[in-house]
Amino acid sequence: MTERRTYSYLGPAGTFTEAALAQVPEARGQVWNPVHNVGEALADVLEGRSDAAMIAIENSIEGGVSTTLDALATLPGLRIAGEYLVAVNFVLVGRPGIRLEDVQVVAAHPVAYAQCHGWLGEHLPRHAHVPAASNVASALGVLDGSLPAQAAIAAPGVVQHQDVEVLAEQIGDNDNAVTRFVLVTPTTVPPAPTGADKTSLIIELPVDQPGALLEMLEQFSTRGINLSAIQSRPIGDELGRYRFVIDADGHIHDERMYDALLGIRRFSPRVVFLGSYPRADRRIVQYPERYADDIFVEARDWIRGLLSGEPEA
């Protein structure tokens, strides 16, 4: 009998994170372990209680998830194994029988609350807000009375797990809102390239070096590598000091990426390699022909010839 694998995720059942985990074929039929926050999920992985953790890393409206980015920047021993996109929308729910006109206080996770600002201003202009810990905890708090609110902003998945009245659907301000999740495992050998990969890095800039960000970006641009995401995060020791969380098109096994990583490592006082893994959209990476693998191989052959002292052909 095979042992089952364990996946940690931000629970409870019904969260967007659970929806992300549902996209992982290997996770079907395995143990799903709901946790309370990102730190707990990553600790499960680092301490061996879970084989992997699904965590939110970036939201198209709210931006990078600070807790995730800062945890990945500071906890060694982790690798991203894959990314998953979940379209984000919200429902307004309450206890069975309640009507919209009865709602005076709305419970909501602050990020979700911010994304429903337009709808609330139009339909509940006089409401007050009570913060909740997750997009499911908001509904649970309303149901059990532990939160002083008549309605909750929740993930649509909540209706499958709780007996709630849906007061309104699609209340998010942006129909295209999407959250990007990553599946995190202990450090391991990078998976084989698929041609549609991305490489995630966290790069600290050298201090007292004007133009350091410019120089960091050049490490990629001079090898024909496109960046699909770049986010700044404060290092935390003083104002004006940043690390950058970067997604670069390509795989560490691509010659141009390998070379760029060497350049980045020489440049930066601290680099965290989060992994090379298949893109969620499976889009094949495009790059100028001059940065193809064989160009790199040919250049190495050439320089070996120079060092050997043999005349060029």
In angstroms, what is the minimal distance from the CB of 31 to a copy of itself?
24
**CB-side neighbour CA atoms (13 Å) of 100:** 13
Per the CB < 8 A criterion, the answer to whether 23 and 170 are in contact is: no
In angstroms, what is the minimal distance from the CB of 283 to a copy of itself?
12
Measured from the Cβ of residue 214, the count of other Cβ atoms closer than 10 Å reads 9
Q: Which are the contacts of 19, defined by CB distance < 8 A and separation ≥ 6?
A: 86, 155, 157
- Dihedrals phi, psi of 103, to nearest 5 degrees: -80, 120
Distance CA 130, CA 139 (A): 12
In angstroms, what is the minimal distance from the CB of 268 to a copy of itself?
10
For residue 152, the cross-strand partners are 93, 107
In angstroms, what is the minimal distance from the CB of 1 to a copy of itself?
27
Distance CA 70, CA 202 (A): 10
In angstroms, what is the minimal distance from the CB of 63 to a copy of itself?
5
Per the CB < 8 A criterion, the answer to whether 115 and 176 are in contact is: no
Q: Which two tokens stand for residue 183?
A: 């599946």
Per the CB < 8 A criterion, the answer to whether 124 and 102 are in contact is: no
Between residues 77 and 195, which has the closer beta carbon with respect to a copy of itself? 77
Between residues 31 and 236, which has the closer beta carbon with respect to a copy of itself? 236
Between residues 159 and 295, which has the closer beta carbon with respect to a copy of itself? 295
In angstroms, what is the minimal distance from the CB of 116 to a copy of itself?
14
Distance CA 70, CA 312 (A): 51
In angstroms, what is the minimal distance from the CB of 146 to a copy of itself?
8
In angstroms, what is the minimal distance from the CB of 53 to a copy of itself?
16
Between residues 1 and 313, which has the closer beta carbon with respect to a copy of itself? 313
Between residues 32 and 285, which has the closer beta carbon with respect to a copy of itself? 285
Per the CB < 8 A criterion, the answer to whether 33 and 8 are in contact is: yes
Distance CA 250, CA 299 (A): 20
Between residues 123 and 233, which has the closer beta carbon with respect to a copy of itself? 233
Between residues 1 and 239, which has the closer beta carbon with respect to a copy of itself? 239
- Dihedrals phi, psi of 112, to nearest 5 degrees: -65, -40
Between residues 136 and 261, which has the closer beta carbon with respect to a copy of itself? 261
Per the CB < 8 A criterion, the answer to whether 277 and 198 are in contact is: yes
Distance CA 162, CA 145 (A): 14
Between residues 159 and 212, which has the closer beta carbon with respect to a copy of itself? 212
Q: Which two tokens stand for residue 103?
A: 């709602």
In angstroms, what is the minimal distance from the CB of 257 to a copy of itself?
10
Calculated CA dihedral for residues 220, 226, 228, 233, nearest 10 degrees = 20
